[in-house]
Amino acid sequence: MVGRIAGLAPSMAYSEPFKKALAGRVWTEALLNKWSEDPQNVAPDTVILYHQDDLEKRQAIIDFLKTLY
């Protein structure tokens, strides 16, 4: 997932606010960190129920996501 353009996975449905906020942006470790900590700050008006306050847990998630690309 790291290194891919956000919002282009064919099996996913993306809201208009998500597509607008992340249009053309590439998932980097920094962007994934911001997204998992505070999704509303990255893409306002989106609905996502998950956020992670713990930096070590966020990094573990990002490390896993790096294996998916």
Q: pLDDT tens digits, residue range 1-50? A: 899 999 999 999 999 999 999 999 999 999 999 999 999 999 999 988 89
What are the tokens at 3?
């290194």
Q: Are 34 and 42 in contact (CB under 8 A)?
A: yes
What does pTM read for this prediction?
Answer: 0.87
Domain ranges of the chain: 16-66
d(CA 32, CA 42): 10
**DSSP structural state of residue 43:** S
d(CA 50, CA 64): 16
